[in-house]
Amino acid sequence: MNVSRQKMLLLAVAVSLLMSTASAQVSRTAPDLVPTGKGWGEAVEHSTGKAKPGGGANGISYHGGSVMTSGPNVYYIWYGNWAGNTAVTILTDLAQNIGGSPYFNINTSYYNGSSVHVPNHVAYSGSTTDSYSQGTSLSDAAIQTVVASAINSGRLPKDGNGVYFVLTSADVTASSGFCTQYCGWHTHGTISGTDIKYSFVGNPDRCPSACEQQTTGPNGNAGADGMASIIAHELEETATDPDLNAWYDQRGAENADKCAWTFGSTYQSSGALANMKLGTRDYLIQQNWVNASGGFCAKSW
């Protein structure tokens, strides 16, 4: 081997090693973010964040986790003071009518590793109340305690296919960032030996400029009308990413995150804007991400 060829070979090896090192560094320092359930992603040590084969051509990727292939059962925990508040009727109607709608049908574009799709089915399965058992400023741990108490006391059944919504009155806050970092979130935890999915949804009347799209709602209750969109957001994310390891994009954004605060075409209803009718009520509910045709935000699919 002459010197010239030897130098070229050494240079090629050096470049190859440099590229390999750089690639490994990128892999270590810039993996896909994983979702927190609060609308943003985070890097988790030892997690590759890599998508699994079979999903990812539509702007959101499948990462191997479970989806709710039986459709979620919805439970409400009315936390705080809801006496005389029309929110109870407005939001119960939402839970009773969102399943089977063209809107929730968007979630049928998501599936698990066996290609079983999320069905267009939601069952409202009951509610209970909690009169400030954890005070008026709830930590994330306290919110799980509220859910666990409702289950362990028998006020609500223990349901691994359920989504338990802690709905707070306007005098209650969540200390990890309600009104400043999020309006609601979802997660899961082990309660009495079962993986339980649950969500926090705060009352936008506490911070209208942060968590309400409009100060007059189509159902005459701005707080409840604002909560309807947040509940829908967390419900569709829980259906498609219940354990925070199934469907999300490289930034850790889940399906509803990708369309947050977008509403598509609207119409007037009772002096407010609305964009869909569920049952007999008009609502203004954010769009959701369709996992098909390249991916896009829509109100139906």
- DSSP annotation of 259 reads G
Interatomic CA distance for residues 63 and 172, integer angstroms: 35
Q: Which domain range does residue 273 map to?
A: 61-298
Mean pLDDT computed over 73-83: 98
Buried b (16+ CB within 10 A) or exposed e, 130-147: beeebeeebebebbbbbb
DSSP letter for 105, please: G
**Residue 14 located in a structural domain:** no
Q: For residue 257, is pLDDT > 80? A: yes
- How far apart, in whole angstroms, are the C-alpha atoms of residue 208 and residue 230? 13
User: What pLDDT band is residue 72 in, cutting at 50, 70 and 90?
Assistant: very high
CA gap 88, 92 in Å, rounded = 6
- Has residue 94 been placed in a domain? yes
* Helix, strand and coil percent figures for the chain, each rounded to 5: 30, 25, 45
Tell me which H or E stretch contains 236: helix 222-240
Considering the chain, what percentage of its residues have pLDDT values greater than 70? 87
Q: Give the pLDDT confidence of 90-149 residue by residue, as tens digits.
A: 999 999 999 999 999 999 999 999 999 999 999 999 999 999 999 999 999 999 999 999
pLDDT digits (tens, 9 = 90+) for 94-109: 999 999 999 999 999 9
For residue 177, tell me if it sits in a domain. Answer: yes
Residue 86 placed within a domain: yes
pLDDT at 270 over 80: yes
Q: What is the DSSP letter of 33?
A: P
Better-predicted residue by pLDDT, 61 or 25: 61
Structure confidence by residue, pLDDT tens digits, 156-212:
999 999 999 999 999 999 999 999 999 999 999 999 999 999 999 999 999 999 999
Residue 201 is part of a domain; what is its CATH number? 3.40.390
281 found inside a domain: yes
**Run of H or E including 26:** helix 3-29
Alpha carbons 67 and 118: distance in angstroms, whole number:
7
CA 39 to chain centre: 7
Helix axes 222-240, 87-97, angle to 10 degrees: 30
Let me know if residue 137 belongs to a domain: yes
Greater confidence (22 vs 215) lies with 215
- In the chain, the number of structural domains is 1
The residues that bridge with 62 in the sheet, in sequence order, are: 247
Question: How many residues can be counted in the chain?
Answer: 301
Confidence of residue 31 (pLDDT cuts 50, 70, 90): low
* Contact status, residue 178 vs residue 210, Cβ threshold 8 Å: no
Say if CB 231 and CB 98 are below 8 A apart. no
Cβ pair 32, 250 in contact under 8 A: yes
Assess if residue 25 is contained within a domain.
no
Q: Which pTM value belongs to this model?
A: 0.88
- Strand (E) or helix (H) holding 34: strand 34-35
Helix, strand, or coil (residue 106): helix
**Residue whose tokens read 């119409």:** 267
By C-alpha distance, which of 218, 185, 239 is closest to 285? Answer: 218
The reply to whether 24 falls in a domain is no
